[in-house]
Structure 1
Amino acid sequence: MATEAFEDIAETFEFLEDWEDRYRHVIDMGKAMPPLEEAFRVPATKVDGCASQVWLLPEIEGTGSNAVFRFRGESDAMIVRGLIAVLHALFSGLTVSDVLKVDAAAELGRLGLNDHLSAQRSNGLRAMIERIRALASHAASGA
C-alpha cells in the first residue's frame, strides 16, 4: 500500500539506474520541502535514534482511526531531509489506521535505500518510521 506520491518516487527511481543519481534526487526532494519553523524544533518533536538532528511535527485531521495523517519535518542533514520527504510521500494523506498497515521496510526496499544507506542513516530512518507509527497509533486510539 503506497500513496500516489510514493509511487511517483518509485517510478522515478526505476528511471534513475545509477545510485548517485537517486541519492541526488532524494537530496533535491529534501531541498524542495518547506522548512520547519524554529518554534517547532523542540524536544517534543525531536526524533531520538538519529545521528542527525531530526524533528517531525504531526498534523492530524479528525479523530479516531479515520483521522488523516500528515506531518512536516526537518533535519540538519540534506540527505535526511530527503529521507523525510520520502517518508512524507509514503505516509502523508493516509488515515492513521492505514499508516499502521504500511509495510515501510518493503516499500522503501523497492527504492533500494537499505542497500545504500550507512548503518547510522538506516537506524535513523527506522527511528523516524517508528515515530510516525507511534504518532498514528496514538491518534488512532483517540488518546
Structure 2
Amino acid sequence: MNAIATPNADQAQQDIVDEFAFFGDWTERYQYLIDLGKQLPEFPEDLKIEDYRVHGCQSMVWLVPSGNADKLHFQATSDSAIVSGLIALVLRVYSDRSARDIIATEPRFIEAIGLAKHLSPTRSNGLAAMLAKIKAYAAAALRA
C-alpha cells in the first residue's frame, strides 16, 4: 500500500479547511498563507511570459500547465506574498488531477475557510481568474 497517497480533491479541500481552523484570527491566517506561498517550488524565469500570465489579477501571476487530460500538473508563481499563498492552496486542490476532476471540482474551501469575506475585491477577482484559467486548461486538455 502506498503510504504517501495524494489526497483526492475533496480531501485536499477538507485538509485546507482543517488547517485554517487551527488559527484564531485572520492575522494568523494571512501569515499562514504567506508561509505557504514561500514553500512554492522555484518557478523558472523563462516561463514568466505573456502566454502564461493570468489576467484579472492585480499582482503578476503566471500559471503553466503540463501533462494531459489524464493528469494535469500546474506550476505557478506570483510577485505577491498573499497571492502566492492562494496559489499554493489552489495547486493542492487542482494540480496533478485529471481534467474531468478539475472541471468537476468546485473550490468549496474558499468559502469554508472564510477567504471569500477576507480577500480584497482585486484579490478575489484574481483568484477567480486563476480558477477559470485552470478549468480552461482542463477543458482544452479534454478536447485535445
* Structure 1 residue 79 corresponds to structure 2 residue 86: no
Q: Which runs of 5+ in 1 are unaligned?
A: none
1:20 corresponds to which residue? 27
Kept in 2, the 8 Å contact 1:83–1:125? The answer is yes
**Matched residues in 1 for 2:101 and 2:40: separation?**
23
Give 1:59 deviation, angstroms. 1.8
Query: Which residue of 48, 56, 67 corresponds with 1:41?
Result: 48
TM-score with structure 2 setting the length? 0.89
Aligned sequence identity (%):
37
**Matched residues in 1 for 2:86 and 2:44: separation?**
18
Query: Which residue of 92, 100, 105 corresponds with 2:95?
Result: 92
Q: Which runs of 5+ in 2 are unaligned?
A: 1-7
Aligned CA RMSD, in angstroms, stands at 1.4
Kept in 2, the 8 Å contact 1:2–1:107? The answer is no
Q: Which moved more, 1:116-125 or 1:106-115?
A: 106-115
**Matched residues in 1 for 2:93 and 2:73: separation?**
10
Give 1:82 deviation, angstroms. 0.6
Equivalent runs, 1:108-119 vs 2, <5 Å? 108-119=110-121
Runs (4 or more) in structure 1 with deviation over 6 Å come to none
**Matched residues in 2 for 1:139 and 1:124: separation?**
23
Count the aligned residue pairs: 137
Kept in 2, the 8 Å contact 1:57–1:72? The answer is yes
2:63 corresponds to which residue? 56
Query: Which residue of 6, 11, 15 corresponds with 2:18?
Result: 11
2:73 corresponds to which residue? 70
Query: For 1:20-43, what per-residue CA distance to the aligned partner results, in whole angstroms no more than 9, with x for missing partners?
Result: 111111110000111211100001
TM-score with structure 1 setting the length? 0.90
**Matched residues in 2 for 1:3 and 1:29: separation?**
19
Q: Which moved more, 1:51-60 or 1:106-115?
A: 106-115
Partner SS state of residue 44, structure 1: helix
Give 1:3 deviation, angstroms. 4.6
